[in-house]
Homo-oligomer: A and B are copies of this chain.
Amino acid sequence: MKSEKISELTTKRLSVYLRCLQTLDRNGIHTISSRSMADQFHLNSAQIRKDLAYFGEFGVRGVGYQVSHLAQHLTKILGLNQEHRVIICGAGNLGRALCDYAGFNTEGFRIVALFDQDPKKIGGTSRSGVPVHDIKKLKQIVRREGVDIVVITVPADAAQKVVDLVCETGVKAILNFAPVRLRVNTNVKLKTVDLKVSLESLSYYLSNPSLPAAVNPPE
């Protein structure tokens, strides 16, 4: 396996391929060509071949990919063969919703705690029973629970302070939903999901209706 940096876009596509392969596997499909996989899931077959070739020779000429074998490899490449323990800082609407959302608190990722500074929220739980702790206990609980991913759902003006606290705990991966640009240590991976930016790109499309709409790359 090559060890150079692969792009953020490639890892997103690997996630999409894995989901497609899992669907095929559930449907009892054992082998599939890149062409057929592309057709079925609205993907680009040349891109599939290129992305997967990067990680080694998975396909067999004239036969295609072995679905479960390739799914296992992608699972390993994406680090999903072990469970990640996740906490959410910010027990507001978005934080609690993510905590209880099946598309998020799901196989491979276990949300073990919420954190907040609001005394009214501390001591409570989400609907699904995830406890809300005092943000002051962050370091202690991160260590006790073996947390390796932190999700930030606090308001924009509180986000940097919380991210600084998270960096002190030694956690190396942060998913930020606060609409603000944050500084982290160089050895910490910060990913920002800005929901308003997504709405704005739709707004851009609506005010430029001459643009082709059908191109919907995996994101």
Residues of A within 8 A of B (CB): 3, 5, 8, 11-12, 14-16, 18-20, 41-42, 77-80, 84, 86, 92-94, 96-98, 100-104, 106, 108-109, 127, 148-149, 155-156, 172-175, 177-179, 181, 183-184, 186-214, 216-219
Contact = CB atoms under 8 A, between A and B. Distances in A.
A191 B216 contact: yes
B211 A5 contact: yes
Nearest to A79: B207
B196 A103 contact: yes
A112 to B, nearest CB: 14
A-B interface, 5 closest residue pairs, ranked by CB to CB distance from nearest: A79-B207, A97-B97, A173-B202, A79-B203, A189-B213
Nearest to A83: B203
Contacts of A208: 79
A136 to B, nearest CB: 25
Contacts of A41: 181
Contacts of A200: 11, 14-15, 18, 78, 80, 108
A169 to B, nearest CB: 15
A213 B172 contact: yes
Contacts of A198: 175, 191, 193
